[in-house]
Copies of this chain bind each other. A is one copy, B any other.
Amino acid sequence: MPRTRGRAPDGKWRADALSREIIVGAAIALLDELGERGLTFRLLAKQLNTGPGALYWHVTNKDELVALAADEVLGHAFTAPPPPEESAGAGLRALAIAVFDALDQHPWAASHVNAPPTLANALRLLDRIGTLVARTGLPAERHFAVSTAISYYITGVSAQIIAPRATAVAATDRDAFLAQTAEHWEKLDPADYPFLTRTTTDLRDHDDRDQFTTGLDLLLDGLNTTANP
């Protein structure tokens, strides 16, 4: 797993040399355009003017490639510098929303951010959460459990909300899908599903980002009352 660009035998840089970063970048482009099933080593190799075998010198296998691509995308959440002095709660909220928005741009990525973190940006995310949690009044022995809980919420709930868009093709399909699901709910027996049958308009009209922040704010409220009882 080299971290530098290749060099031709004569010692000069090859303009078209492969590298992990170049491969991951091209993979992200294909994933955005064609989804996870559309990403193929043959196609990726063609885009990079090589054979499929060449990629395996830089990347262990497809699972690793997709994981690297997802971590790269997660890193987009950190482009803005962390705002200086705000409350821990506000910092956690801003961080969570930045992650949601980053993953929202690349729907295939959300379900590939794994826990516990081992890749650079996932590590960074948990560390930032932990540092913010440590700033609350919470006893130290609870920092790990609470920080990972928040981290799990961010990536897990983002994946739940965003993943359907990775299957449905375009953004326009979302409305059609929701309308169809709402119709399905309307046909259910109200005796069996009293809640769903009276909630179909909310389903049609809901906003994904609001869904994410609703649960997030409940979680942070709970953190707040636990830390400052």
Contact = CB atoms under 8 A, between A and B. Distances in A.
Contact of A164 (B114, B178, B188, B222): B114
Given A111-B111, A184-B118, A126 B196 contact: yes
A114 to B, nearest CB: 7
A155 B163 CA distance: 13
A47 interface: no
A221 interface: yes
B222 A130 contact: no
Interface stretch (A69-77, A79-87, A198-206): A198-206
Q: Label chain A's interface by main secondary structure.
A: helix
Contact of A134 (B129, B185, B195, B217): B195
A170 interface: no
A150 interface: yes
A223 interface: yes
Interface stretch (A9-17, A19-27, A49-57, A207-215): A207-215
A78 to B, nearest CB: 12
A121 interface: no
A222 B217 contact: yes
Interface string A116-133: 101000011011111100
A169 interface: no
Contacts of A115: 160-161, 164
A: interface residue count bin:
35 or more
A160 B125 CA distance: 15
Given A144-B202, A156-B160, A226-B221, A116 B149 contact: no
A203 B157 contact: no
Given A123-B196, A127-B193, A210-B145, A218 B219 contact: yes
A54 B37 CA distance: 25
A225 interface: yes
A105 interface: no
A148 B211 contact: yes
